[in-house]
Amino acid sequence: MRIATWNVNSIRARATRATAFLERSGTDVLAMQETKCTPAQFPTGAFEEAGCHVAVHGLNQWNGVAVASRHPILRVHDHFPGQPAFGDPAVVEARALGAVIDVSGALEGAPGSPAPTELTVWSLYVPNGRELDHPHYAYKLEWLAALRAQARAWLNADPAALIALVGDWNVAPQDQDVWDMAAFEGATHVSAPEREAFAAFAEDGWIEATRARTTNYTYWDYQRLRFPKNEGMRIDFAY
């Protein structure tokens, strides 16, 4: 089972690239963030033509999350229990979507156990934080703490459940995850509270699956031409 995550930064502008990626990579499930559209505006047809089932959550032109799966999607959650709200008036933003996927016959069970029939993939777009003294930073830490609490509850309720927490975490957990730590002095994404909040998931038993395969950056600021200089950040992960 191959699961991928991609902050698409407007799916309406990148639907063709996203479906092409699905075709050439053999990806079974693609979690997307920053889709920047409502469900009615999402290019569902393009993904269906590529052989995918789609789950979408979006409120407006900001944020937005989605999951495209080659296997049937049984149920969809458009937020996790306890997900914090933000703004005035406070709104539970479109930053988390859980797709319960039918994987009957697609996966093998552990020795002595039956093969699993369901996999829940959460597409997560963690708040950016903006600046260390900004209310959005406190919101980010609150959001991560709430997600951790719920993730712990899922593990306690069913230790054998197949759950993946994937997406844009907006945290660079290690110094090597940014091109120049000096450039991030006093900035978000690398602060101790953010890194501690990210590491807490591993402390609870979640396994981050990507670092064992690659340490490449996952984000480059196109507005500053960071990509040609490989001045990137590693902020997308899969627990």
7 annotated to a ligand binding site: yes
34 annotated to a ligand binding site: yes
Q: What are the helix and strand counts (H, E) for the chain?
A: 4, 11
Q: Is 80 left (phi over 0), alpha (psi -120 to 50) or beta?
A: beta
Q: Are 66 and 97 in contact (CB under 8 A)?
A: yes
What's the DSSP call for residue 110?
P
Q: Are 226 and 239 in contact (CB under 8 A)?
A: no
Q: Which two tokens stand for residue 23?
A: 């075709």
63 annotated to a ligand binding site: no
Strand 163-168 to 118-125 pairing: parallel
Please give the Cα distance from 21 to 14 (Å, whole number): 10
Beta strand residue intervals within the chain, DSSP E? 3-7, 29-33, 53-57, 65-69, 73-77, 96-102, 118-125, 163-168, 219-220, 232-233, 236-238
Element (H, E) at 13: helix 11-25
- DSSP readout, 127-177? ----STTSHHHHHHHHHHHHHHHHHHHHHHH-TT--EEEEEE-----SGGG
Three-class SS of residue 25? helix
Binding residues for Mg(2+): 7, 34, 168, 170
Binding residues: 7, 34, 168, 170
